[in-house]
Chains A and B, each alone.
Chain A
């Protein structure tokens, strides 16, 4: 349980390894963000018959760097009516959780043939992830909730109406999709029996059929992906920054590198969320070792899966138009949350059935029965509320 790094006491070497791991993790995400921004702009340009950035460096690879330097040298404006302390704090509240979430993602390590994914460094044994807290996935949910504070406080402290409206939308959206996000994670935890991301990856090691994508039968994966997209405020769920309606949303009043930090946080979150999806459902770094040193391949597989998801997010952005606000809320509360609840019950009953040696058919049947009952209750509730709203409208008119 936990990172074996701390098993033999706590000395300078351990501290150094932790520092180096944090540094490498941070660099990984930062470099990832730089190239993700370039990748997104390039891919979306290709999809829209454009060329995309091609001026700074070969293929425009250094465009993000140039933009960053430009942002640093720009004037840092603060509106008169802004709350000075909170206004300055908000960007950090946005960036920090984005990076902290990435800390729990295992990015490498061999989990097959009896190994537990640990590596030996300078006489110490450790996992290839910055931290492996026993609460793992709970930490993810906690951090994504704190990310809402960054957005909310930024909007509120700007002392301006558009940021406030954007922030209200953002927090409502993020809070409502967090429920679906959490409920679909619970099915993964049910299959794994542990909250630790390391354990989640370890149980998926080996065959493709062991991946949680298969063991939880795709549905939680789909729900989690949609909810993650909404949680990231990326298109088609980018109502937060709907520039046609809200100027720039919660960061309208931000300029210079403070704006840059929100931008950074957004892309950091995209990378982190993709990494989390890969960890939870696609076996993290697991994959076949083809040739050469076996420690390399997990890193390669992880990066490839990550890239696949990052491309997916860009693809979504290029294809789908933005949701209307009521459609967004309908999808979240009436679609994703009931679906993930029903699936959770189904998985739970099958799991209990397996443990209790029920006959094979009983588990799914009981599960389906409960799910059906839940569904009917929900339908009744929705219909009742619709009727009441209709009556109210009639009374009102």
Chain B
């Protein structure tokens, strides 16, 4: 066909005769593309299954935040009506989403898995005040779902899972812990299923066994060393 082959291509695409001719446009506000599993959206403050807040007001998230967009102030739990299971709770919690770069370092830093990132990001603030999410806006509702604020566009199902995924630097992020439940139970969702295998099942299995061997080797030598003393 030579020069004319291109004309056949465009003609076939016009009538969608070939799989490559299918329309790829998504009519965005009406339809949405499925979001990637590990998308970083806005934060939520999670609660335990009994309704207690996970946040203990330790300010590690604020400390690690490279954009300095988190402001936390902790306070002692009122003895008669505790907010969180521990001694202290997050009294003030604010995130400025005009500054947040969604790096997820706060999620990595959190010792109680209180702050996580949901997949929600389609917001249209009309003023700067709305962009600063206060604690009452960040905490999940009584059903465990993020609060649907008036300027947020999200639909049923887009808020799952709010507790994101296994943290990259967490101990249980190592491949050796694959298949283990890594996330504390949450209000509304209970215990989440373990993370899926990282990529190629065979590859990860061989990696796991290598790590196990290395681990046991290290362990035994350590024992031997200790025994020598």
A positions within 8 Å CB-CB of B: 43, 46-51, 315, 318-320
Pairwise interchain contact B7-A47, C-beta atoms closer than 8 A: no
B10, CB-defined interface residue at 8 Å: yes
Pairwise interchain contact A46-B25, C-beta atoms closer than 8 A: no
Known: A319-B7, A320-B6. A50 touches B13 (CB 8 A): no
Known: A315-B7, A319-B7, A320-B6. A48 touches B27 (CB 8 A): no
- A318 and B11 alpha carbons, distance in the complex (Å): 9
Q: For residue B16, which residue of chain A has the nearest CB? A: A46
Task: Tell which of B6, B7, B22 touches A49, judged by Cβ atoms closer than 8 Å.
Answer: B22
* Across-interface contacts of A50 in B (CB, < 8 A): 23-25
Q: Which 10 residue pairs spanning A and B have beta carbons closest together?
A: A47-B10, A46-B14, A51-B25, A319-B6, A318-B10, A319-B10, A49-B24, A47-B14, A50-B25, A47-B13
* Across-interface contacts of A319 in B (CB, < 8 A): 6-7, 9-10
Beyond A46-B16, A48-B13, 10 additional pairs, beta carbon < 8 A: A43-B14, A46-B13, A46-B14, A47-B11, A49-B20, A49-B22, A50-B24, A51-B25, A51-B27, A319-B9
B66, CB-defined interface residue at 8 Å: no
Pairwise interchain contact B13-A315, C-beta atoms closer than 8 A: no
* Across-interface contacts of A318 in B (CB, < 8 A): 10
B positions within 8 Å CB-CB of A: 6-7, 9-11, 13-16, 20-25, 27
* Across-interface contacts of A47 in B (CB, < 8 A): 10-11, 13-14
- A50 and B26 alpha carbons, distance in the complex (Å): 9
* Across-interface contacts of B22 in A (CB, < 8 A): 49
Pairwise interchain contact A51-B23, C-beta atoms closer than 8 A: yes
Pairwise interchain contact A49-B10, C-beta atoms closer than 8 A: no
- A359 and B23 alpha carbons, distance in the complex (Å): 60
Which of B13, B15, B22 has the most chain A CB atoms inside 10 A of its CB? B13
B33: min CB distance to chain A, Å: 14
- A339 and B38 alpha carbons, distance in the complex (Å): 62
B16: min CB distance to chain A, Å: 8
- A319 and B11 alpha carbons, distance in the complex (Å): 9
* Across-interface contacts of A43 in B (CB, < 8 A): 14
* Across-interface contacts of A49 in B (CB, < 8 A): 13, 20-25
Pairwise interchain contact B23-A315, C-beta atoms closer than 8 A: no
- A46 and B22 alpha carbons, distance in the complex (Å): 9
Name 13 interchain pairs, CB-CB below 8 A, sorted by A: A43-B14, A46-B14, A46-B16, A47-B11, A49-B13, A49-B21, A49-B22, A49-B24, A51-B27, A318-B10, A319-B7, A319-B10, A320-B6
